[in-house]
Chains A and B, each alone.
Chain A
Amino acid sequence: MSPRIACLLGLATSPLAAQDGGQLYTTHCSACHAIDGQGATGGTFPPLAGSPWVNSEAALAIQIVLHGLDGPVDVLGKTYNLAMPPQGAVLADPEIAAILSYTRSSWGNRSSVVSPADVAAARKASTGRTKPWTAPELLKLHPLVIEKSALTNLTSQAYFGEWSDLPDFTQLKAENIEEENSGLISVRHGLRNDHFGVVWQAEFNAPEDGEYLFRLDCDDFGRVIVNGTSLMEIREIGPMGRAKEGRITLTKGKHPIRIEYAEAAGDQGIALAWKGPGMERWKPLSDLTSGGGDPWPNIPIIPPTGEAVVYRNFIEGTTPRAIGIGLPGGVSFAWSADHFAPELVWTGLFMDGGRHWTDRGVGNDPPAGERIIKLANAPALATAAEAAERWPDRPALAARFRGYRFESPDSPTFSVEAAGLKLLDRYQAGAPDTLDRTLRMTGRPSEPLLLLLARGLPITPVGDGRFSLGDGLAVEVRSPKPARLLGDGSLVLPLDGDATAGIRYLWR
């Protein structure tokens, strides 16, 4: 043992060690884990409050403090990938014991005290360890002990709507039903960030007969019903920090609990806790993620040099069968395989995978760039007869998507067939802020066909096959038969067998 540590031990063999736990925590730990144990800078660093990494075997927590932790680690459902520096050479056994005893009994944590002897034993068990731990290494030695929530058979159902008060959910249709094995309610069960509600139903397991307190805090509306009795309600738009308590006498055993929640807009959050007879500390029924902001990390998807990148997923602003293409050079588009045409075009960043690649990956992901133009939102192929005056919302013409291919890595071609005509729709980045589209038509259509180029945005002919589209985009069309405007303002292109058309989109 180094002289320095021996010296510190000498000083610290006094009853002050335990009392100093909070002080030591503030000095050595709070910069990252925050004074309230929630993790500093709003979720960048992992929380210690309610964390099974803190509350399982003491040996697990001690090893992390001694040697640090590198690499991905899941804490309360969120993955962190940081580097906790080792403290074993900085702190003596009594100091580590005091910090961990403090940590394990604060902010709702209720785990056993840690002694200097525990720390010494952990040091001995890991002699020779020179690198920080990784989560998998630790879990093999010290599996997590997750304290069971008092809620069993918990289900969540999300609802979409805009409300200025808690709605009557019995009159609304749920979007889904999910089983929540964690036994904890979470705003993430709402599937989106605004204009949603959630109803949770579960059995609350009361450990003994007596009076029970429930404490609800939420942004925006919520209420808790136990055994059919409403315990408390929060009925006005507002942030967390307006907690209300309710009390109810329960017999030992299971009682039905129903929690209703709705979010208007802005930040969102719900925290629910309970306290039973003789209990000093509240126990959580919610995950401890505080509300507000995106609950997922940014994962930008960027085309490799000279190649296009594909993102096939649910993209906001177009149909579910969306194929996002990020071309090298910063021009992107989303091609709808339901409507057989590009529907969104934009510049700048392509897409961000964070939403879809986190947790259950719920909802639509919007383009991650700027100058987004929505070209149209209807099936793009119709017979000339059915689209004489206006573009039909549901063309009778049956078209079929055949897939896409890359003739070169930077240029995708989409293949569509309709009424005997085969359409090859190829895209390439041109000059900066330019998207080049080439339509190759082969075969003989059984009747004249039209392709929808744009609809639902202001379109102005500028002459010579050029049109301005919405705000800031122009399109130039070179084709055997010219593009034209229908009576309803839709821009259409007549399709010819065995011909080629060139369409150029330019951002100004």
Chain B
Amino acid sequence: MLAEIGLVSLALAFIAALYAIPASVMGARVERTAWVVSGRNAALLTFPLLLIAALALMAALVGEHYEIAYVWQTTNPSTPLFYRITALWGSQQGSLLFWCVIMGAFAAAALAFNWRAYQRLMPYVIAYTMATLAFFIGLTLLLENPFARYWVSLEGTLITGVIQPAGALPIAADQWVQPDGTLVFAVNAPNADAVPLMTRLGQTANGLNPLLRHFGMIIHPPMLYLGFTGMVIPFAFAMAALASGDLSTNWIKATRRWNLTAWLFLSLGLILGGRWAYDVLGWGGYWGWDPVENAAFLPWLIGTAFIHSVMIQEKRGMLKVWNMFLVIFTFSAVIFGTFATRSGLVDSVHSFAQSAIGVPMFAFWAIMTLISVGLILYRWQRGDLKDETHRTGILSRETLFVLNNVVFVALTLAIFWGSFGAPILSELFMGTDITLGVEYFNAVTPPLFLILYLLMGIAPLSAWGAMSVGRLGRALVVPAALTVACLVVMVIFGTRLPAALVGYGAVLLAGFVAIYETARGAWARRRATGEALLAASLGIFARNRRRYGGFIVHLGISVIGIGVIGSTLYQQETQRTLNVGGSLTLGDYTVRYDGLDAGQIAEDGRVMDIANLTVLRDGAEVAQIRPRHDLFPGDGAMNSMNIAGAHSTLETDVYVLLVGWDTDAAPGRESATFKVYVNPLINLVWWGGLVLILGTLISVAPQDSLPSRVRAQVTGTKRAGAAA
């Protein structure tokens, strides 16, 4: 029954999304409001329908309906309830459905919040969001259906199908499996060794991939999907502006929050993905320039460029065509990233299995990109996208923002080339596959990131329109002096690598500019209003959340930069086999092995072998850590995983993996082999991520357009009028 509910809901959502497209566009063309409203209602209906489908699948996962192939593939009887729920996005079909639900939610929210303010744009917004949604629902329904079930053929074998194949029977209580695997039909058990088919399905079920049983991996996909699908909304508004001819800044105003919200989720998804890799993959790092990681990073990079460049259009009426291209390529990168991850195009630890959705996804990506570029060219040749201002100084903020955009785009192209361009083109045109390893990314990206950090430091100090060298230099004096002072302290304390000093210099400058500009704003407000410093500081955030939230984001990115430089350039590693009581020293830390707790059984049935270690610094015990090896029920070798033990401080992570032990020794006396990493400053990557999130939340929060005093007066007048 759950499969039927899910299937019908999914099919109805598909029909509703398809109907909404012509209804809204035709309504706009022939100016029939009722048609547009009908299209909107159909679009709004897709979300509850998709939610019902997702809830049906979730109920099947929780209720152990192993006759549904997806449930069998992603759970088994020992899977805890929490992971049964998260299995909804644990594999291709379920995660596609989940993608659709989130997309439906974004579309419904965009329609609900923007309907009245941007009526001219809305028919086309409906058309673009529903076209994207219909495509993904179609994929889910026709090619990767999560409601496909097992059926019993007349020959007594299991076959998979979404609808009942001719002659096949649904799985029922009167079907029994003999020990030799043969299927018999009987009301009662034919013999003592026979088990009901439903029970047998549970016994043979796969269970969730152990690598996915981690907090970061549970929350990382939803965050990425929220980021990906959220980027569809700015794209839809931009295309609506092109299609409707309303090329004012309306579409930018309408999408600023959607864009920032999507960017926030994408940032969160990337940070959590890094944290998952660090905790679970056991190589002491968090970013490996894997094609799938890069596929998620590309929309973030272009989206960041877009966030900066729309400010130029708002302030100066410039870069109209450029902004359109950026929003299209952000959407394009989202669809391409989804395609690359799900099609089997690339080999990656993160990718899904090879699947039939590759060709349609590529076709959809190409068609949407071509239509969008075609619309831009149409409006451009008509002269509808002319900039309102042409003149600008070479050191003006808009010039520096353009430079920032150029570097972001260069980074995007370089990473795309390394991940996809070179391998695909070499195979197409040279008959051989050339791949670019980590060395490529390590050579290309650091100089570009360095320029970005420098621009992040300089651009906020510049002014719109024009800026003299002298004025910019004077504005830079305090942050630059603070940066130099920090670098001197670093050199005194032993940081000597030129690459590290150059990197820290750029990152610190960006961070100090963010702090300095915020402090300057607070001081200026204090002088102007006489408020206390704290009140003035809060006041500037209330007055201009976008600007000062942006500085907090910059600060977060700077903190991340410090963490990346420290953990990349100063990572230390070693491995050694230790007897109980033995120790090894790495950097400032000593790790002592105190014994092994072998064969511990966890609640979910996994068998854990846990090493007890003491971390010492300067002879003093600072922490007890317990790296372990987990073996999950089932006989597959990949049913096991290494969980690192870590002693984390803001300064350093001591990260230890238990990689082997002597199983023949007396219990508790086993020698064991450890791989140990010391990762300086790595926790700043996660803390910087939190600061970035805080800054984005401040930027995205609604801002009162009128001061509270004026608002109170207006409200009072209205009330008085109403009372009269």
Tell me whether A and B are bound partners. no
Interface residues of A (CB under 8 A from B): none
Contact residues of B with A, CB < 8 Å? none
